[in-house]
Amino acid sequence: MLFWLLTFFIILVPLVIIHELGHFFAAKNVGITVLEFGIGFPPRAATLFTRGDTIYTLNWIPIGGFVRPYGEDMVRPKTDEEMEADLQEIEGRHIENPKSVFEAGPWERLWFMFAGPLANFIAAFFIFVLIAVIGQPYREESGVAVSSVLDESPAAAAGLQEDDFITHIAGERVTEVEDFNARVNGPEPVALTVERDGDSFETTLAPTTSTDVSDNRVVVLDIVEGWPADGKLEEGDLIVAVDGEDVHTTEALIDRTKDRDGETIVYTIERDGETLDVELVPENLDASDNAKIGVTIAAFNPSLGFGYAQGYDIKTRPADGPVDAVVTGAEEFAFSMELIVRAPIMLIEGQLSPEQARPVSIVGIGQIGGEVIRQSIELEAVFPILNFMAIISIALAVTNLLPIPGLDGGRMVFVFIELLRGKPMEPEREGFVHMIGILFLLSLMAVVIFWDIVDPIDLNSF
């Protein structure tokens, strides 16, 4: 709940306020009188101050903000009675030469309506530029991570534990698993430097027999729920062959799986002393370029008695000057924009899973955002939060531009119709259509909120 609230107030509320500021400044730009700029939604809690024609208010429902221009009630044109009430407010506040939304030309109204989504696009772009300036994270091979240790094994005798990090062999730096395999390839004991919880120590690993990569097996450490391996493989299984060909390294297993999306593969495994053949169909469920079966794996060497995998350090790479930051920010913006706009097509083509392309409510955004905030805390880095904020800002802009009555895009459709007809649609008729659209959106929101509660988003699919 705490992380959901943090997501709401740190990410969603500022983005909605940015959206409304876009409408606000565009209205000022074309001379439309803005009677109120509110933070939160009514009922009103306090009037903060008045500047020019606009009062700035704080409201009780903390879900963003709103702009109240003369002549419009949220998204629909006002009735004659409501316009009369606005005029009385204008006269009471001594506003001179007021200009309503109705009095603005069609191109002025299009600018006013488009400016909200545009503000979100601009915000996303600058967030990506800021990320480039701070530094984008990347993984750097930095050692061998111990994934499991057998009892009464050479590794256990050497004092190795799960999550240890092997950084040196005989005083020489080791950064990749291939280096480790090449240096630990005989029966002789080897001196290791191991990091654990920020401290390092020296130990000696004495294999029971001669070690060789050909002795390695690939051990299953974890299985992702809902992926092909779920229910067919078990933690601790040793994968020894793929379609009859032996595999001795994690790299070999990945190479023989990644390009076979949708194909049936026979995995030979050892479990409790038995050899079994398991048929699995790898899938691309995480928008990557590789088909996967949904397991976390590591190399396992029987003569050493422990499993190990490639270890990484997360480092940051700042942009090389302002120009590079802008270019990098633009590239990230374009990539995220394409991903969001093409999501329905990617779902049809199988590049995205239904879980990844499902609509999300503020509850779902809170679930994802909570995990993002946890990652930021664990990494002690602001990148995950900023990146998520930029993506949500783009999604908010794109959603508002959809030609659905009640949204900015739906309102713009009526202006385009006006340009084609040469005259505007009757305010009552347009208002009725927008009201139907709002009811549809509220109903859809209720369904999606319910779905996000009863079937929370699978965060492993992202």
Domains of the chain by start residue, with CATH: 2-132+384-461 (no CATH), 215-287 (2.30.42.10)
Residue 74 and residue 65 in contact, taking contact as beta carbons nearer than 8 Å? no
- Interval 166-176: pLDDT, tens: 999 988 998 88
Residue percentage of the chain with pLDDT more than 90: 28
pLDDT at residue 462, rounded to an integer: 56
pLDDT at residue 352, rounded to an integer: 65
* Segments of the chain with pLDDT less than 50: none
pLDDT at residue 108, rounded to an integer: 95
pLDDT at residue 327, rounded to an integer: 95
Torsion of CA 19, 426, 109, 97, to 10 degrees: -110
pLDDT at residue 369, rounded to an integer: 85
Show contacts of 73-80: CB within 8 Å, 24+ apart: 75/406, 75/407, 75/411, 75/434, 75/438, 76/430, 76/431, 76/434, 76/435, 77/101, 77/102, 77/427, 77/430, 77/431, 78/427, 79/427, 79/428, 79/431
Q: Which residues pair with 146 in a beta bridge?
A: 308
Two tokens, residue 12: 């969603």
- What is the pTM for the complete model shown? 0.74
